Structure 1
Amino acid sequence: MNQPIYSLVIPIYNEEENLTELYRRLINVIEQLDGEAELILVDDGSRDRSLSMIRQIHQRDSRVRYLSFARNFGHQIAVTAGLNFVQGQSVIVMDADLQDPPELVLKMIAQWQQGYQVVYAQRLSRKKESWFKRFTAYAFYRILKVLANVDIPADTGDFCLMDRQVVDILNAMPERNRYIRGLRAWVGFRQTAVLFERDPRFAGTVKYTFGKSWALAVDGIISFSKVPLRIATYMGMLSASIALLMIILILYWRLFEPSTPLIGYTLITVAMFFMGSVQLICIGILGEYIGRIYEEVKGRPIYTLKETGGINNK
C-alpha cells in the first residue's frame, strides 16, 4: 500500500453490532476518494467481540489498521492514540455508532481541498434522542461558548477533518485531560463547518452515559476557562460582605432592639450553613483544577497498547 493521503480514525468500545455496517459504509466512501486511504480502528478495551472482528477485517483488508488498549482509557484518549499513528495528510475523526454519517466525509474533503485546515461537522438536529439529552447538550455548548477563552463552535463533536499540520500540533501538545474539540479550536488555522442531521445510533447501547458526558463537560470547561476560579473568588467576596452585614445588624439589634426574634440560634445556624456551603463549593472548584495539575505532573503515559495491526511504530 502506498503512503495514504487520507486517514480515518475511529475509536471502538463494545461496538460489535455496528462494525460490519460501519466497515461497509466506510469502504463505499473510501472507494470514491481520489487517493489512497487508511482506516485506523482504536479498540478502547472492548469487552465484547469488537477486537476479534477488527482483526478479521484487518486480515481481509490491508487498508484497515488497528490499535488495542490494555484497558479502557476513554474516548478522548482513543482519539488521541489514533492521531498519534496516522500517516495521511487529511485526517478524519468519527465515532463508530454511525450517528456520524460516513458519507459526510466526502463533503469535508471537498472543503479541505478548497484550503480549509479544519472542517468540523455541526449538528442541525439530534434524531430520536430524549428531550433531556437535547436540552443538556444545547445548554452545555452555550455555557461553554460564554465561559471558554477560545471560540469553540456550538453543537459540534469530535466528527471532523483536520489537516496534517493541525494533527502534528495536537500530537505535540502534552496535555493529559484532552478535550479534542476544544484543542482543535484553540490551534486556529482556517476552519469551517459542514452541517448535518445527526442520525440515531445504528445498533447497540449508548456508551456515553450521563456520567461520562458530565465528566467530559467538566473537562471542557476546566481546560478552557478560568471563570470558575473567578466565580469562587466572587462567592468568597459575597459571603464576606454578607458576614460583615450580619455583624453590623446583630450589633444594632443587641444595642437597640434586644427583644427582636431575629437574634438567636436560627440566625446563627443559617449563617453557618451558608458560609459552609460557599466554602465547600470554592474548595470543590479549586479541587478540579488542582486534580488536573496532579494528573499532569505525574508524567505517566496516557495509554498503554497491548496489540497493534498494520501500524508503523513511531
Structure 2
Amino acid sequence: MRAETNPTVDLIIPVYNEQGVVSTFHAQLCQAVDALPYAFTILYVDDGSSDGTPAELAALAQADGRVRVVTLSRNFGHQAALSAGLDRADSDFTITLDGDGQHPPTLIPQMLSLAQAGYEVVLTQRLESDELSWFKRATSALFYRLLNRVGSTNILPGGADFRLLSRAAVQALRSLPEYHRFLRGMVAWIGFRTVILPFAQPARLAGHSKYSLRKMTRLAMDAVFSFSLVPLYMGISLGVLFLLGALAEAVYVLSFWITGNTANLAPGWSSLMFMLLVVGGTLMITLGVVGIYIGYIFQEVKHRPVYVVRAEAPAPAPPSR
C-alpha cells in the first residue's frame, strides 16, 4: 500500500460508446501509473453511452478499488463530461484524458514530474500527423488562427483536453459557471504557471471518433462566441463602411446638381438593386450574429446545469459537518 503522505492524483476520463475499448485502455493506464509514488483515483465519466460501456465500467470498478464511475443521464457532450469530472476532483493534481487511446497514458509520469517542478498547468500539444486528413489539418489550423486573432485569450494550436491541473487551477475553473464551455479557452484564461508538453498522437484503440463535423462546428462556435466580441465589431464596421459609401454616393449625385449637369444623371436601377441586396444581406448577417449572442445570454440566464448525473458508484461520501 502507498503511504498516506504520497501526493494524490485524480484521473478524469470521459467515455461515450467505447465498448471493447475502455477495458484495453484501462489496462494501458494501469501499466503506466501503477509504479508511480502517487495515490490515484480513476474517475470514468460515462456520457450517456448506449452500448455495453456501462457494464464494462461496472466491471472495472469492481475489479479495481481506485475506479469511480459517474454516469450522466444522457449524452451532454465531451466538455460537459469533463466538467462533471472536474467538479468531483479533490486531489493535489488532476489529469484529464480521453479513453480511446489517443491520449497516451505513458505521458503521465512526465506530466507529474513537471507539476512537481512547480508548474500548475501542464498542457499537451498534438504534433501534426500525416495520418490526419488534409481537411482535419486545414480546419484545425484555420480554427486556431481565427480564434487567436479575434479572441482576447491565446489558445495553444494543436491543443488537446489532455492536461494536468493543480488543485488551485481546478478550483479556479469551478468558479467559471458558463453554460457553453470551451475548456481549452477557459484553462488559458485562468492563467497560472504553464508548460507545454508536445506528443505524437497514436491511433485509436478501436472504433471511430465521436466528434462529428456538427459537434466540431458547435465547439468552434462556443469558442468564438464565448471568448470574443469581434463578430459584433465586424457588423458595426460593415455598417460604417456602407454609411461612408452612402455619403460618397450623395456627394456624387449632389455634384451633378451643383454643376447643372442633371441630364447626365441617368437612373441606375441595377446599381440600386445591387446596393439593396448587399445592404440587406449585411443587415441579416449582423442581426444573425446579434441573435446568436442573445441566444447564448438566454441559455446562461436560465441557469440550467451543464450536465445531470443519473448514477455514481461508489456513492460520494456525505459532506463533513
What TM-score, normalized to structure 2?
Answer: 0.91
Task: Tell me the alpha carbon deviations over residues 191-231 of structure 1, each in whole angstroms, 9 at most, x when there is no partner.
Answer: 00001112232211221111111111111122111222211
> Which whole-Å CA distance do the structure 1 matches of 2:138 and 2:75 have between them?
29
Q: CA deviation at 1:253?
A: 6.4
Q: 1:203 to 1:127 in 2, by over 3 A?
A: farther
> Which whole-Å CA distance do the structure 1 matches of 2:203 and 2:105 have between them?
14
> What's the secondary structure of 2:128's corresponding residue?
strand
Q: Unmatched 5+ residue regions in structure 1?
A: none
The answer to whether residue 166 in structure 2 is matched with residue 166 in structure 1 is no
> Which whole-Å CA distance do the structure 1 matches of 2:57 and 2:228 have between them?
39
1:277 maps to which of 267, 278, 281: 281
Question: What are the residue-to-residue correspondences of 1:44-193 with 2, within 5 Å?
Answer: 44-193=47-196
Tell me how large the CA RMSD over aligned residues is. 2.0
1:292 maps to which of 289, 296, 312: 296
Q: CA deviation at 1:5?
A: 0.4
Fraction of identical pairs, as percent:
35
Q: CA deviation at 1:307?
A: 0.9
Query: Structure 1 runs of 4+ off > 3 angstroms?
Result: 1-4, 246-261
Q: Which amino acid aligns with 1:125?
A: E
Q: CA deviation at 1:13?
A: 1.0
2:209 maps to which of 206, 211, 215: 206
> Which whole-Å CA distance do the structure 2 matches of 1:288 and 1:199 have between them?
37
Q: Which amino acid aligns with 2:164?
A: L
**Greater Rg, structure 1 or structure 2?**
2
Task: Tell me the alpha carbon deviations over residues 59-96 of structure 1, each in whole angstroms, 9 at most, x when there is no partner.
Answer: 11111111111111111110000001122211001112
What TM-score, normalized to structure 1?
Answer: 0.93
Q: Unmatched 5+ residue regions in structure 2?
A: none
> Which whole-Å CA distance do the structure 1 matches of 2:109 and 2:252 have between them?
69
Q: Which amino acid aligns with 2:305?
A: P
Residue number in structure 1 paired with 2:269: 265
Q: Which amino acid aligns with 1:274?
A: V
2:244 maps to which of 227, 241, 245: 241
Q: CA deviation at 1:288?
A: 2.0
Residue number in structure 1 paired with 2:261: 256
Q: Which amino acid aligns with 1:103?
A: T
Q: 1:257 to 1:132 in 2, by over 3 A?
A: farther
> What's the secondary structure of 1:312's corresponding residue?
coil
Residue number in structure 2 paired with 1:196: 199
Q: CA deviation at 1:170?
A: 0.8
Task: Tell me the alpha carbon deviations over residues 33-54 of structure 1, each in whole angstroms, 9 at most, x when there is no partner.
Answer: 2111011111111111111111
Q: Which amino acid aligns with 1:294?
A: F
> What's the secondary structure of 1:198's corresponding residue?
coil
> Which whole-Å CA distance do the structure 2 matches of 1:128 and 1:17 have between them?
23
